[in-house]
Structure 1
């Protein structure tokens, strides 16, 4: 795996960060709005957002005193590509297995 993909998987390995990504899939949200349902402090959310931002999944913007987070379009593309490639390999192996098992008929 590439270092960027490793960092992305590590970031998404945290349940709070996955919950943030899930919430942001609905649309942008302020840091305080993200913190409420998760039961963590605004400071903790800001730290999680920083990790997600470094991986290219989330973007934050500060307007006045409010910091708002949103998902980066295609931020999860490396994970999708990695999963698609693995699935493709598995399907090819299963097709070969089916061919081998079918030869015995």
Structure 2
């Protein structure tokens, strides 16, 4: 079954190191397909396939400028992914904080129990 939700398309596109590298190169501004292809030891059709995946995920825009095909980053392309990651991070931070509080309470209970046992042992030694 093909993936169609936007978030899965974005993460799927980002799963490939070549596509992540392409996005890194596009941070400086629009680049022609030929300039991008020159950076990789793969065919132009393979580069075009990577670009199609990035475009399908909404991460880049391809335009025609005279006889050149240029690619540029679509600024809002990562917004949904960033929001999802931020939500997950907040959720996990909250869970870890609660776990820390729980473990702290358990340690305090354990120390109180040990202290009570020590006190009882000293009483018995005196008898």
**TM-score w.r.t. length of structure 2:** 0.75
Partner secondary structure for residue 75 of structure 2: coil
Q: Which moved more, 1:2-11 or 1:22-31?
A: 2-11
Higher helix residue share: 2
Bigger Rg over Cα: 2
Which of these residues, 43, 46, 50, is aligned with residue 45 of structure 2?
43
**TM-score w.r.t. length of structure 1:** 0.89
Q: State the Cα deviation string for residues 16-62 of structure 1 (Å, max 9, x = none).
A: 11111111112211101111112222222222111111111000111
Q: CA RMSD in A?
A: 1.5
Which of these residues, 3, 11, 14, is aligned with residue 13 of structure 2?
11
- Bigger RCO (CA 8 Å, 6+ sep): 1
Partner secondary structure for residue 27 of structure 1: coil
Alpha-carbon deviation of 1:102?
Answer: 2.3
Could you say which residue in structure 1 is the equivalent of 2:67?
65
Could you say which residue in structure 2 is the equivalent of 1:85?
87
Unaligned runs of 5+ in 2: 109-127
Unaligned runs of 5+ in 1: none
Figure out how many residues of one structure are paired with residues of the other and give that number: 104
Cα separation, 1, equivalents of 2:7 and 2:27:
20
